[in-house]
Structure 1
Amino acid sequence: MVKVHGRCNLACRYCYLYEGPDHTWRDRPAAASPAVLGRTADRIAEHAAAHRLGGVALVLHGGEPLLAGPDRLAAFADTVRARVPTGCTVHATVQTNATLLTDAAVATLAAHGIRVGISLDGGLAAHNALRTDHAGRPSWPAAVRGARLLVDRHPDAFAGILTVVDPRTDPVEMYVSLLALRPPALDLLLPHGNWSAPPPGMPDLTHLPMGPGSRRATPYGDWLCAVFDRWWAAPRRATRVRLFEECVALLLGLPAATESLGLDPLNAVVIETDGAIEQVDSLKSAYDGAAATGLDVFRHTFDEALGHPGVAARQAGARALADACRTCPLLTVCGGGHYAHRYRAGHGFRNPSVYCADLERLVRHVADRLAEATAGDPP
């Protein structure tokens, strides 16, 4: 993930990056310089060659990456492709809030093999009320215009929609509203919270027991189960929902994992606008400086980043989990949940996820539906 631009044209009130505890973005350049982008391309190529990679995922991120301009994004993707070894495919995606999408911008991105993922809180204006610009004006009119342009004129460039779960919304209404935008895939993400800063709608969890069987309310799990049932029971698969597909695959014993499920090691790194090599941004929801490694693309390789203690902890699988997680029957499916959601001040990240009960609710629900669907099948 490369931060081509480190600022955003929106001021979403729940943003963990700009409204959260980490303030390191304030001291960084607004945009990555040509020197940073060039050196990053070199490091990607170096890593691909050293490990004989057949492909790499290049995510152009922010902030709002389109503030850097589509031509600059296209040029960087071209540079990376030119420098990686022959036979290594670069799968490039830009993640945007869609407000700056124009026909010319999408045409440029598509022509340079960059697919477009958009972030929305739902497919209706009411769902996106917290996504405002810095003057407090709603972003929805511009965002939906950009999304529809992508759907209607450049569907082959549409990577999908990323949506943060909000249990205050009607889950089925939200899901159906997004289907109207014909996304090829949906990512349903739990809001970044932890035991010391609980997600919206959760009570103070400081003195509650952690781990499976805590028997507390599961607003996020209930919401996800409702969407799963609508998705699962549809006569045809209207879109891919990565969280659900991965959960089903893991229950069937297949190799699969997202940041929220499974035990596969994390395989992502972030390059900041100043060239710093950092862990994924979600850690910034825990405390100031949580994602820092002290490394940068000018002096260090990505293999050195793999050796950083914070990164290594996320390569350790079950060994890095809390005792309660390692003895849980859902271990291989849940995987301890998202790493950032395990944080508790004074206790680090070796805790169950703050969403432990919600994840248990979802996994058991999906398992029940899967058992019903396969009942009577030959062994």
Structure 2
Amino acid sequence: MHDIVLKIHQRCNLACDYCYVYETVDQSWRDRPAAMPQDVWEAAVDAIGRHAAAHGSRGVRVILHGGEPLLFGTERIGALTTRLRGAVPDTCAVEVGMQTNGVLLTERRLDALRPHGIAFGVSIDGVPEVHDAHRVTRSGRGSFAAAARALDLLRRPEHRASYAGILCTVSAGTDPIACYEQLLAFDPPTVDLLLPHANWQHPPQRPHDDARTAYADWLIAVFDRWYSGGETRIRLFEDVISLLLGGGSRSEQIGLSPAAVVVIESDGAIEQVDALKSAYPGACATGLDIRHDELDRVLDDPGVIARQLGLAALSDTCRACPVHPVCGAGHYAHRFRPGQGFHNPSVYCADLRKLIEHVHGRLSEDVRRRVAGQVTGA
């Protein structure tokens, strides 16, 4: 496993309307402890250390997640990361990240956590009116101002090393360039653009019935601006370009790379990536517990095995599609259809194909121009 997600706090101080943890079919969070108990997080970090030693890992990435992970408390987060760094061999580098909504990320907390080397990713969905339409407090108030304050703190020179980037969920039908420019205003080192978690049973919202490729249209507008300017890194676009050029992908959203993420829930359950909660109750479950089972055991789970098959896991429809080596049928969770499981194209199939073909066209035109210029210069 390259990435290990620790669900250190199971509750959240926001009530985002598209959240796959609280607003979709799997409601297992209700039966789990709000905060990860000490015996669970100690068992988790010790197991990570044994896993790294057994495999001679040169590096491991641990993401502190929730809910809202800052609800776990600064002192406990510090104790966890200290034990984690001591648990792995000296030859293994530990990268600790945290995905937060930013509401609780104050200067005091940043100062307290800086010695622990945590890189913070902040979730923000572009301009205030879009963000505040979806990412609200329990009382229904928008959270843009609080997230913006957190990002302004991370931009400061003294905190810049703790700034991992921005996560933005795409909202089709909104102004993509206004969103992109708002994100750029926070000077992010990287941006992750995520498609809302949806599937064939619960399809994504589109602006109108004819908007079959509304998400592609949104992404293409941002891609063209980004491709011409290159003001920051956008992982989705970089991965599409890499795959088109014969390279690999770092994202679960695209490509055929094996899944390398495992989640440890607040009760100790070892599970698959938690986006699968959007498919059906128990879709993430493996039946394993970090207090009793080693991390390697998750590799024997049928669901995990299926996600390592690459091309062999694709439906006939996908394998017949010319862009399947790049698309890879999209995010695994987006393939689900009742009665057929995950052996389907992505519910975003038309969007992904349109985006990939557009990027291919831009790259091909650049190559033709470069070759023509070299021939003319010769």
TM range (shorter): over 0.9
CA distance in 2, matches of 1:297, 1:53: 19
Q: 1:360 aligned to 2:353? A: yes
Instruction: Supply the RMSD in Å over aligned alpha carbons.
Output: 1.6
Any residues of structure 2 matched to 1:213-252 within 5 Å, and which?
A: 217-234=212-229, 237-252=230-245
Structure 1 vs Structure 2: percent identity of aligned residues?
A: 52
| 2-structure distance, mates of 1:337, 1:165 | 15
Q: Is the 8 A contact 2:8 2:35 kept in 1?
A: yes
Amino acid at match of 2:332: Y
Give the gaps of 5 or more residues in structure 1.
205-214
CA contact (8 A) 1:283 1:291 kept: yes
Tell me the CA shift for residue 377 of structure 1. 3.6
Q: 1:334 is aligned with what amino acid?
A: C
1:130 paired residue number: 134
Q: Cα offset for 1:301?
A: 1.2
- Amino acid of the structure 2 residue aligned with 1:332: P
The one of 332, 337, 356 aligned to 2:325: 332
> How does 1:266-277 map onto structure 2 within 5 Å?
266-277=259-270
**Runs of 4+ residues over 2 Å off in structure 1:** 123-129, 376-379
Q: Any idea what SS the aligned residue of 1:294 has?
A: strand
Which residue matches 1:301? 294
Following TM superposition, by how much is the alpha carbon of 1:117 offset from its aligned partner in structure 2, in angstroms? 0.4
Give the corresponding residue for 2:96: 92
What is the aligned counterpart of 1:78 among 68, 77, 82?
82
**Cα pair 1:92 1:113 within 8 Å, conserved:** yes
| Cα 1:167–1:203 shift into 2, 3 Å | closer
CA distances 1:120-144 after superposition (whole Å, capped 9, x unpaired): 1114344332211111122222221
Partner of 1:198: 203
Say if 1:279 and 1:192 are closer, same or farther in 2 by CA, change over 3 A: same
TM-superposition CA deviations, 1:256-304 (whole Å, max 9, x none) = 2410111110100000000000111100001111111111101211111
| 8 A contact 1:48–1:84 mirrored in 2 | yes
Instruction: Give the match's secondary structure for 1:129.
Output: helix
Q: 1:154 aligns with which of 151, 159, 173?
A: 159
Judge conservation of contact 2:334–2:346 (CA < 8 Å) in 1: yes
Q: Encode CA deviations 1:329-368: one digit per residue, 9 max, x unaligned.
A: 1121111100000000111000000001100000000001
Amino acid at match of 1:102: T
- Where 1:226 maps in the other structure, the secondary structure is helix
Higher helix share: 2
Give 2:222's aligned amino acid.
V
1:285 aligns with 2:285: no
Q: What is the deviation of 1:216?
A: 7.8
Helix, strand or coil at the partner of 2:99: strand
Distance across 2 between alignment mates of 1:41 and 1:347:
37
Pairwise CA distance, 1:373: 1.4
**Which range moved further: 52-61 or 106-115?**
106-115
Letter in 2 for 1:12: C
CA deviations over 1:144-189 (Å, ceiling 9, x no partner):
1122112125122100000100012100110001100111000000
TM-score, with structure 2 as normaliser: 0.94
Aligned to 2:146: 142
Out of 74, 83, 105, the residue aligned to residue 101 of structure 1 is 105
C-alpha contact 2:220 2:358 (8 A) present in aligned 1:
yes
Deviation at residue 203 of structure 1 after TM alignment: 7.8
Partners of 2:121 and 2:163 within 8 A in 1: yes
Secondary structure of residue in 2 paired with 1:50 = helix
Structure 1 residue 60 and structure 2 residue 61: aligned? no
Q: Which moved more, 1:255-264 or 1:168-177?
A: 255-264
Shift in Å, 1:327: 2.2
Q: Deviations over 1:226-273 (max 9, x none)?
A: 000000011xx2110000001001100012241011111010000000
Instruction: Answer yes or no: is the 8 Å Cα contact 1:341–1:354 preserved in 2.
Output: yes
1:16 match: secondary structure: coil
SS in 2 for 1:90: strand
Corresponding residue of 1:262: 255
Give the gaps of 5 or more residues in structure 2: none
Q: Give the SS at the match of 2:96.
A: strand
What is the CA–CA distance in structure 2 between the aligned matches of 1:364 and 1:52, rounded to whole Å? 40
Task: Quote the offset at 1:85 in angstroms.
Answer: 1.2
SS across alignment from 2:155 = helix
**What is the alpha-carbon distance in structure 2 between the residues aligned to residue 349 and residue 22 of structure 1?**
16
Rounded to whole Å, the distance in 2 between the matches of 1:160 and 1:128 is 20
Amino acid at match of 2:293: H
